[in-house]
Structure 1
Amino acid sequence: MKKKNRIYFVPTDATQSYRLQNGSPSLKSDAGISEQKQEGSLQLNFKNKSAVSYRYEMTYPPEGVDSIFKKSGYIHPIITPKGDTLTRIQPDDHYHHYGLWGPWTHTQVDGERVDFWNLGDGMGTVLFKKFKNTESGDVYASFTAVQEHIDLKTKKEPQVALNEDVQVKLWDLNRPDRYMLDYKSAFNSPLENGILFESYRYGGGIGLRFNKRWKADNCSVLTSEGNDRLTADRTNARWCIVSGESSDGKGTNGILFMSHPSNRKHPEPMRIWPIDANGEEGICFLNFALYVMKNGK
């Protein structure tokens, strides 16, 4: 099938004009939007520096920690244009937290509960399978990864309960201080009886464990509905920005999460850890979720 030509218009704060003309597309961007594989991760680069990395090889837990917490198929690190790392993996309070990933927890397979998130329970896991494609050019760099949600509980041998295509695009916004990241996930189940996603306190969508330096006194939350770090948990929003002190202490940086209007639960339910989470340190975790029970415990 002949590949169709596409035109991308990327909005910016500045007034711009566009001119269409015939020509050959460039394979790499002079602006530094590119992709490359390095040491078991696929890196999407911005301004010729790593911005977003997808881990496709296995990551093992620290020495002395049960190997049941090993994992592939997650995004880490996410790095700001100024070089600050915003994500964290394998914190000692939650070894199953892996940067930015898809945290599915309460599901049913043939009447049995299977949890693909809490790895320590040994019910399931999510692992990288293969890449469908990678590409880069003047406007964006992207990849599509196939991930397998593996049921470790209901059969004698592990079985694939969900096939997932994760498409990630890093967009150049023609701004030196920011970039845009699109994250799209599509599922299908090979199981004869399918899989049931149960109601639970929270889960699905994407989860992000933020860097260790952001705590109660230097990390803030603001949502489209005006909620903050104290009130945003278990609310819905069209967007949510999480920001905190930069590593040099001379400013702030952060991530703006935007729910797409076509999402099933738009405006998106959110789980944001209370400010006294983890021994009153106020460490930040966000689940931009498919479901959050308002009165769950």
Structure 2
Amino acid sequence: MSRIFFGLFIILLLSCNNKEEGGFKLAKEDGISQASPVSVPFESLGNVDWATLGNMTLTYEGRKVPFQLDENGKSLWFLHTPQNTAEYKLEKADGGTADTTLIKVNKSNGNLQLSKGFIPLLTYRYGMTYPPEGVDSIFQKSGYIHPLLSPSGDTLSRIQPPDHYHHYGIWGPWTHTQIEGERVDFWNLVERQGTVLFKDFNDTFTGPVYGGFSAHQEHIIIKAEEDNRIALNENLEVKVWDLGRPDRYMVDYTSQFNSPLENGILFEAYRYGGGLGMRFTERWHKDNCTVLTSEGKDRLSADGTNARWCMVTGESANGQGTNGVLFLSYPENKSHPEPMRIWPIDGNGGRGDMFFEFCPIRHEEWKIQPNKDYRLRYRMVVFEGKLTADEAESYWKSFAGMPKIVKE
């Protein structure tokens, strides 16, 4: 979202000569009905410095609105509800400000867990995970998300299923690639050609609005000489947003990568590879899991088509309801609206297990030039119960472009 700036932000600090108080409104955006994150550039806050801002509150009609400064010190973030059409006010706090950290980070035993208060939401595995006893060690892996949990605690992701030991929750290796005329597969570990592993953390962050991490991952050519083993350097940033409701939360998943290889790397057109892939829980199959895309496609017709968003819904663990994940593709992504890989309903010996992927190279190859940065951005809304197509479209619109500041 850093590309979207509030160019019309000219009324924020009106109340005090020292510019420590002010107000602003956000434009009404047609078709956006869901709460979503918005930001105000820190430079727009005039003479308010970091220390001053830390002693101020953001309010709407007298109610405090949690806000957070981003890890780069460039923006103030808060959750905006489109129904809030009156003025937001930034003013001095009455007394001290308490620690309002809500989205928390905990690192332990190779796991980085993001939680809302004491409720775990997702885990990023940075330690090595080994395959089950008796299974080839080539399937060991780090640098993936599992478990992804529903707001009520159902596990929605799966790792190391016996039919695909190389499947690891949420991850995005490239499959058919060309490097100096040779094919290297970073997805199918059994090929012993490539893998993707965690290297180190760039940053972690917590706060009342969002929390997350940035991790450096390496796409490794297994048989290459030491100087040419790294095909891609990837910075994966994951942010979990509190949506102010118990039945939904939001995850931003951003992959920025470049190739240090002299001639770069070619991602061949293929039905799997890169983007954002997720192997869903073994509980879900053809009889209790559905798909709906922005173009109205379902489980039978969605594979190979393009979409702005795709919603996967399945039966909850107690059998009494549903939960799922809404996947959103950013407009600047390669091949947006993005092609998808969705497993056939008669797959897995007729079970119809669920796999979803936004696959930007499904229909068209992608040449990655040496030492040039590329980026793919995705958002997931993890929900309990049902989420309508209109709500899904609203979430996508707020992801595609935030509302702007307007004059009163």
User: TM range, normalised to the smaller chain?
Assistant: over 0.9
The amino acid of 2:73's aligned partner reads K
Match of 2:289 in 1: 219
Q: Take 1:117 and 1:248, find their aligned partners in 2: how far apart are those partners?
A: 33
Structure 2 matches for 1:1-297, cutoff 5 A? 4=73, 6-12=75-81, 15=84, 18-22=88-92, 28-29=100-101, 32-155=102-225, 159-293=229-363
The amino acid of 1:115's aligned partner reads D
Q: Take 2:82 and 2:207, find their aligned partners in 1: how far apart are those partners?
A: 22
- TM superposition shift of 1:9: 3.4
Partner of 1:72, secondary structure, is coil
Q: Take 1:7 and 1:16, find their aligned partners in 2: how far apart are those partners?
A: 19
- TM superposition shift of 1:178: 0.6
Partner of 2:323, secondary structure, is strand
Q: Take 1:102 and 1:22, find their aligned partners in 2: how far apart are those partners?
A: 45
- TM superposition shift of 1:202: 3.0
Partner of 1:163, secondary structure, is strand
Consecutive unaligned residues of structure 2, counting only runs of 5 or more, are 1-49, 51-71, 365-408
Deviation per CA, 1:246-267, whole angstroms, max 9, x where unpaired?
0000000000001111112111
Partner of 2:79, secondary structure, is coil
Deviation per CA, 1:41-87, whole angstroms, max 9, x where unpaired?
10110242110110000000000000000000000000011010000
Deviation per CA, 1:225-281, whole angstroms, max 9, x where unpaired?
000000000000000000100000000000000111111211111000000111010
- TM superposition shift of 1:103: 2.6
Alignment root-mean-square deviation, CA: 2.0
Deviation per CA, 1:157-211, whole angstroms, max 9, x where unpaired?
8711100000000001111111000000011111112111112233220110000
- TM superposition shift of 1:155: 3.8
Query: Are the aligned partners of 2:271 and 2:359 in contact in 1 as well (CA < 8 Å)?
Result: no
Query: Are the aligned partners of 1:60 and 1:69 in contact in 2 as well (CA < 8 Å)?
Result: yes
Query: Are the aligned partners of 1:100 and 1:209 in contact in 2 as well (CA < 8 Å)?
Result: yes
Query: Are the aligned partners of 2:103 and 2:209 in contact in 1 as well (CA < 8 Å)?
Result: yes
**Greater RCO (CA < 8 Å, at least 6 residues apart):** 2
Query: Are the aligned partners of 1:46 and 1:81 in contact in 2 as well (CA < 8 Å)?
Result: no
The amino acid of 1:9's aligned partner reads F
Query: Are the aligned partners of 1:109 and 1:154 in contact in 2 as well (CA < 8 Å)?
Result: no
- TM superposition shift of 1:33: 1.2
Q: Take 2:271 and 2:353, find their aligned partners in 1: how far apart are those partners?
A: 19
TM-score by length of 2: 0.68
Consecutive unaligned residues of structure 1, counting only runs of 5 or more, are none
Q: Take 1:129 and 1:147, find their aligned partners in 2: how far apart are those partners?
A: 5
Query: Are the aligned partners of 1:56 and 1:74 in contact in 2 as well (CA < 8 Å)?
Result: yes
- TM superposition shift of 1:38: 2.1
What fraction of aligned residue pairs are identical, expressed as a percent?
Answer: 60
Query: Are the aligned partners of 2:268 and 2:361 in contact in 1 as well (CA < 8 Å)?
Result: no
The structure-2 alpha-carbon separation of the partners of 1:156 and 1:130, relative to structure 1 and needing over 3 Å to count, comes to: closer
Query: Are the aligned partners of 1:189 and 1:195 in contact in 2 as well (CA < 8 Å)?
Result: yes
Q: Take 1:25 and 1:197, find their aligned partners in 2: how far apart are those partners?
A: 50
Match of 2:53 in 1: none
The structure-2 alpha-carbon separation of the partners of 1:140 and 1:90, relative to structure 1 and needing over 3 Å to count, comes to: same
Partner of 2:91, secondary structure, is coil
Which segment is superposed worse, 41-50 or 94-103? 41-50
Query: Are the aligned partners of 2:173 and 2:196 in contact in 1 as well (CA < 8 Å)?
Result: no
